[in-house]
Chains A and B, each alone.
Chain A
Amino acid sequence: MRWFERFRMAVLMLFRRRNETARLNDELQFHLEQQIAENTAKGMSPEEARSAALRRFGNPTLVRDQARSMWSWNWLEVGLRDLRYGARTLSRSPGFAIIAILVMALGIGATTSLFTIVRSVLLKPLPFRDPGKLVMVYERFRASTGGGDGANVVSPADFRDWREQTHGFEDMAAWRGYGFNLTGEHQELPEVVDAAGGSWNLFSVLGVQPALGRAFTSEEDRIGANHVVLLSWVLFQRRFAGDASVIGKQIRLDTNEYTVIGVLPRWYSYPDSHVQLWVPYAQTFTAAGYDEHDNHQSRVVARLKPGVSAAVATKEVSALQYRIFQANASKPVAEDAVFRPMIDDVVRDVRTPLIVLLCAVGCMLLIACLNVSNLLVARSSARRKEVAVRGALGGSRLTLIREQMAESLLICAIGGFLGVAISLLATRWLAGHWQDLPRAEAIQVDGSVLAFSAGLVFLTALLAGLLPAISSTGSGVLAALQESSRSIGGSASRARLRKMLLTAEIALTVILLVAAGLLFKSFLRLRTSDLGCVSDHVLTMQYGLPEKQYDTREKIVAFHEALLERVRRLPGVRAAALVSTPPGGGWEGDNVFTIPEHPSNAFNLQLDALRRMIDPNYFSALQIPLISGRFFTDQERLARDHYVIVSKQLATQFFSGESPIGKHIRVALEEKPEDYEIIGVVGDTLYDVGQPSKATMYFPILSGIPSETSGATIVVRTAGDPLALSLPVQKQVSALDPALPVYEVLTLPQIVGNSTASQGFSATLVLAFATLSLLLAAVGLYGVLSYLVTQRVTEIGIRIALGAQRSEVLRLVLFDGLRPVVIGLLIGLAGGLTAGALIRSILYGTSPFDPVVFATMIGSLLLTAIIACVLPALRASRIEPMEALRIE
């Protein structure tokens, strides 16, 4: 029965609270009356009886409050009352409230957005079965000089040996990127699609079931097996209108027929969302290529066996790899194997930028908190007397602190609400505009993100509100009451608190500014890095000749030459040339080689250079300088192709001191190594902005070797806008072969822009956060100084009356304001140096201690600070002593 009684009371207390309050008053009144009656009975006069009773009774309000505090729902009542008071105080100064709320909304919104992205991209497990057990296994060359773990992509024969001969993993699967010209049975437009070759067990290792149809079988994953293809959901919807009857039908890839056997689920986006279709792994190789140990291009996914660690399983693979290396000692075969957890592998490139961004918004949020805190301190000192009076009347310190906290909680809660709304939009925008962000499709706001922002609201409310609340309700109720409004420099401690907050704010701002400056400079360096060739007015466009029709050297060369001939005749074309991959277009292909003229002919990993196929006009078209020797002519063609031009870096690296002209390079372009005579040396170009240049060898594309020259990029230097020529050039391609699609139609600056887009994106974001922080710090500085000046009006008035010069007053106030700035600046510089060192790995061509960046950022901070200080200082210097002294 007791629960019923308690429930009855709870309901009574919730709905009849007003009634109960009246009854409580009545009850206490009755007690008092009884006491008076007793006193009167003892013979006191009515007057005496009443005051004695009151004396005995104590503080009636307090007794009532104490009794009330026993009621259920008391917490709710107190909370609501605090919030009501908070709202009332805030609405008295709407300007302050709006600014504070906006500041918090911005801070909480940005932090929530970044948290959403970091959580979805870095923290959420991959959407595969038991994803913690998936690792990537790579080869590793011991001589590898690149940073990191030295992981190198795997050759197909290595993968097949690993899978067959080791038993540490439950299973291993491989995939490699690939591309196809996709054409339909009928008159559909041809297109170039990103594809991938996956070993038959890839999807079962990942634990992915096709949405329609089936995955590959082991019989299909063989050289010469039936051609089959798995479609991505996107391609299935886009090209086949989501019609399930496509399964079992034929599509043409590079003019070969492939049978569609299945469609992958909508959510599936590994390795990235660009891959449109999958074919069996073996079908992306030639029979010879499938057996090579020195042909590195694949990635290997492995699933751990229960109870066997990745390190142990990899050790076994590594031992096998060393035996493979010993059996192929004259070829570039790796000695070891290494592993990475699959999630690390997927997010490798974005981890540091994302964490930097998260730290940046965290800093901004902290600055916003400090700012609101600062504003609250200013307000609380104006209300000091009120607080003191309430303390004297029996308000406990806890109650007073709670009331002030309610104010900051209100600011942060409304700000947080707005912030979450902002972040819903911002997150979508960020995910959409961040190029190549892995797992972008997984980004979504969910319950835990909302919980995170709710936590953020409470944390910021605590941060922003606690310090002002404690400081204003602290010791010295009496002191506050006694403090004359005429007293001079009265709340020195309060001013000190505000200056400390300000110092922290400035220090954080400096750290942000320095980090942003470094990132931005690095990005600018990337954008302006010299490719080593002319880049204005250059259009590039890729095409790939299908092996089936273009099966001889002559046919390939004939197409290339016919196309060049046609394009050069177009109006507005200054020059046109062919290259396998243009500058800035990526690594694409390299070869190890030997130099027959040099005595040591043993395999040496260091003798390695990028491989490019070019036509005779390539260097002059892109204005890459000839350093010695000569360019190719039309004579170096077909079988007479054993000539090579090398880059300056190759010449200096491998022919130090001697002239390379007339020497030979022994390299296997086709099956066996053959000698190519060096006929020229040209200037260096970058294969990727952000990477140092690499030794390069150029071979004649007019050789027509099918595996090397069927894919080409036509580069066109134009008189006017290069993109205006893209359609005319495409028309020339389709005039020669209507079924041949072109792709990657880009200008050279666009190629550079694409590869630097994500750096630019994060640098711009951090810079935006830093600028906002600078603005916040300036507002804070201005606020503190204006407040100090108002406080010191009387003092300054006396000084001026006693003969102080106005310029001295100006200097006094200015220095007073700049002192916390300078201290904060020094602390911030130390922090900035640390931050710079931490982000060193994502800086390009920029020292983390770059003096220009530091000077610029210090300068802009000081300038902003001085502007923020000058206004209050000027106001102080214009104080009229008579008016100042009359102020009360």
Chain B
Amino acid sequence: MGKPSDLVQGTLDLLILKTISIEPKHGWAIAKRIQQISNEVLQVQQGSLYPALHRLEQQGWIRAKWSETETGRQAKFYGLTAAGRTQLEHEMESWSRLSTAINLVVEAS
């Protein structure tokens, strides 16, 4: 229950950081956004999403703020901190290195 078996280990952090890099979002929106962009391939379970959000918050990479949604309800919006932005760059870099490497191996004839 709740294990991101469909996500490569450790990439959930990257996905979250990337998703909120443009503007702060609440948990539901983050999950939806990841789902949409990935053409419904990546399904983020609540059981992984919220622990991950809280962990990132504890580590000081994201910062939560309560504000109103378009429907006028109070919700918790997560945005990147300065440290989080650096962390995102760092993670994207290592991801691209990793995926290139994997591609090289997989596509080698």
Contacts and interface: CB of A to CB of B under 8 A. Distances in A.
B33 interface: no
B74 A26 contact: yes
Nearest to A57: B46
Contact of A1 (B1, B51, B57, B83): B83
A70 B1 CA distance: 17
Contacts of B52: 70
A5 B63 contact: yes
B94 interface: no
A30 B26 contact: yes
A5 B83 contact: yes
A31 B27 contact: yes
Interface residues of A, number: 31
Contact of B28 (A4, A6, A30, A70): A30
A8 B62 CA distance: 12
Binding site secondary structure of chain A: helix
Nearest to B46: A63
Contacts of A59: 1
B55 A2 contact: no
Contact of A31 (B28, B58, B74): B28
B47 A27 contact: no
A34 B28 contact: yes
Contacts of B97: none
Given A5-B83, A57-B46, A66-B2, A23 B51 contact: no
A586 to B, nearest CB: 74
Contacts of A33: 73
Given A9-B57, A9-B60, A34-B28, A23 B76 contact: yes
Contact of B1 (A2, A9, A62, A69): A62
Nearest to A27: B76
A62 B60 contact: no
Contacts of A27: 26-27, 50, 75-76
Interface in B1-35: 1-2, 26-28
Interface string B74-85: 111000011100
Interface residues of B, number: 28
A607 to B, nearest CB: 88
Given A27-B75, A63-B50, A58 B55 contact: no
Contacts, number: 80
B59 interface: yes
Interface string B58-101: 11110100100000011110000111000000000000000000
Contacts of B59: 2, 6
Nearest to B52: A70
A740 B28 CA distance: 103
Given A26-B74, A30-B75, A71-B58, A66 B26 contact: no
A100 B26 CA distance: 52
Interface string A539-581: 0000000000000000000000000000000000000000000
A151 B61 CA distance: 74
B36 interface: no
Contacts of B63: 5
A679 interface: no
A69 B45 CA distance: 17
Which of B57, B60, B81 has the most chain A CB within a 10 Å cutoff? B60
Given A57-B46, A58-B1, A67 B76 contact: no
A66 B1 CA distance: 11
A426 interface: no
A26 B75 CA distance: 8
Contact of B50 (A5, A9, A28): A28
A470 to B, nearest CB: 25
Contacts of B50: 24, 27-28, 31, 63, 66-67
Given A2-B61, A27-B27, A70-B55, 10 more contacts: A1-B81, A2-B81, A3-B60, A9-B58, A31-B50, A35-B28, A59-B1, A62-B1, A63-B46, A67-B50
Interface of B: 1-2, 26-28, 45-47, 50-55, 57-61, 63, 66, 73-76, 81-83
What 7 A-B pairs are tightest by C-beta distance, nearest first?
A5-B60, A2-B83, A70-B54, A67-B50, A70-B55, A34-B28, A6-B60
